[in-house]
């Protein structure tokens, strides 16, 4: 992420798509500038911070990414980022030209995303109770999305945020679809996407989400990807190993992770492999995931989670 602090009234020449909007806020800070600009903002007279995501019009038309993002506007769930306000069209004049944007105001997640947390080593991947707790959050959030007919199609650690109460929050819905939508334009993210998303022949977006959830589960455990779409590792195609020789697949990963066999258990391996089957119809469903032995193990309650995470993040 790119971080930059901006005072009200200052010039925003480096982010012209946002020019003219900042007058609404007493504080504004650019926190991400990857696909779309995202700002941490505060309204005058309030202490609560929000995240503002800006979608520039393209060719004079409202962004389809904005229309996707607001599909979740009416979905309220503790593990789905909450939308507080959406504006379809805002035209602002700058010294250069007239700029038209759509904006979405979200709840602010102060502890960043799970990619940062995992890579920083601040999450203990050997605390299986913590891993299982956050996997529960992910499963419950996706279950709610699917119950409302929405499929994310770009689940990855960067799109999972850590909220003020240390709960996982699913975010970034700009490529999501209704599950009965036949037009899927998402290419997903390399190494997280289901094979059918990569091959552009997805017919079951719910199953595609399940595959990506399996990859996330693996990364939370090992802190690295299970395979690379384009590279051989130690002369091995880990994707083929995962599908055809699971015993060798786990042996190699334990070798690279410098962990003993006690780091893994059959229940975890069975769950991961069940979620990442190459054929969508063979994958575990949400209901089946929740009935697996590993999933039904111990988790932290809210107070325990706050205590554990406050220590890890101190």
Map 132-172 to HEC letters: HHHHHHHHHHHHHHHHCCEECCCCCHHHEEECCCCCEEECC
Report the percent of the chain where pLDDT is more than 90: 58
Mind listing the pLDDT tens digit for each residue in 222-235?
888 999 988 888 88
Residue 183 is predicted with a pLDDT of 79
How far is residue 215's CA from residue 198's CA, in Å, rounded to a whole number?
Answer: 15
pLDDT of residue 193: 96
Pairing assessment for the beta strands 49-56 and 83-93 based on DSSP bridges: unpaired
Please state, in angstroms and rounded to a whole number, the distance separating the CA atoms of residues 195 and 202: 8
Residue 277: both structure tokens together: 């089957």
Mean pLDDT of 20-48: 79
Distance of CA 47 to the CA centre of its chain: 26
21 band by pLDDT with thresholds 50, 70 and 90: low
CA gap 257, 251 in Å, rounded: 10
The pLDDT value recorded for residue 23 is 55
Tokens 């707790």 identify what position?
A: 133
Query: For 31-60, what is the mean pLDDT?
Result: 87
Q: Which helix (H) or strand (E) holds 226?
A: none
Is residue 171 within 8 Å of 109, Cβ to Cβ? yes
Q: What is the per-residue pLDDT for 186?
A: 85
CB count within 10 Å of CB 244 equals 10
pTM of the full predicted structure?
0.89
Residue 1 has pLDDT above 50, yes or no: no
**Average pLDDT of the chain to the nearest whole number:** 86
Q: What's the pLDDT score for residue 231?
A: 86
pLDDT digits over 241-292, tens only? 888 888 889 988 888 777 766 678 899 999 999 999 999 999 999 999 999 9
* Cα–Cα separations (whole angstroms), residue 188 to 73, 78, 126, 152: 22, 24, 29, 10
Residue 233, SS3? strand
The secondary structure of residue 81, as a DSSP letter, is P
Higher pLDDT, 246 or 139: 139
Please report the domains of the chain, with CATH numbers, ordered by start residue. 4-107 (3.30.200.20), 114-312 (1.10.510.10)
For residue range 141-197, list pLDDT tens digits in order. Answer: 999 999 999 999 999 999 999 999 999 999 999 999 998 887 788 899 999 999 999
CA angle 163, 165, 169 (to 5 degrees): 30
């Amino acid at each position: 992420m790119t971080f930059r602090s901006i005072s009200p009234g200052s010039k925003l020449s480096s982010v012209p798509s946002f020019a003219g909007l900042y007058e609404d806020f007493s504080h504004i800070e650019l926190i991400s500038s990857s696909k779309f600009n995202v700002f941490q903002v505060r309204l005058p007279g309030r202490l609560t911070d929000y995240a503002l995501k800006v979608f520039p019009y393209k060719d004079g038309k409202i962004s389809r990414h904005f229309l996707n993002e607001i599909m979740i506007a009416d979905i309220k769930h503790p593990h789905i980022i909450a939308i507080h306000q959406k504006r379809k069209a805002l035209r602002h004049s700058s010294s250069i030209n007239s700029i038209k944007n759509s904006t979405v105001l979200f709840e602010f997640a102060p502890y960043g995303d799970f990619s940062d947390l995992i890579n920083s080593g601040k999450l203990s991947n050997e605390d299986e109770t913590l891993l299982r707790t956050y996997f529960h959050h992910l499963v419950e959030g996706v279950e709610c999305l699917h119950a409302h007919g929405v499929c994310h199609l770009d689940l990855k650690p960067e799109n999972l945020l850590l909220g003020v109460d240390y709960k996982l929050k699913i975010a970034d819905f700009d490529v999501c679809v209704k599950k009965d939508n036949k037009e899927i334009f998402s290419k997903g993210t390399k190494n997280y996407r289901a094979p059918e998303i990569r091959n552009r022949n997805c017919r079951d977006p719910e199953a595609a989400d399940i595959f990506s959830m399996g990859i996330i589960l693996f990364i939370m455990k090992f802190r690295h990807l299970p395979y690379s779409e384009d590279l051989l590792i130690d002369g091995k195609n880990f994707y083929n190993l995962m599908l055809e020789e699971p015993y060798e697949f786990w042996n190699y990963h334990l070798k690279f992770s410098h962990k003993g066999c006690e780091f893994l258990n059959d229940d975890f391996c069975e769950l991961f492999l069940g979620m990442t089957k190459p054929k969508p119809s063979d994958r575990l469903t949400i209901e089946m995931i929740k009935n697996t032995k590993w999933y039904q193990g111990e988790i932290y309650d809210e107070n325990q989670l706050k205590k554990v995470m406050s220590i890890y993040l101190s």
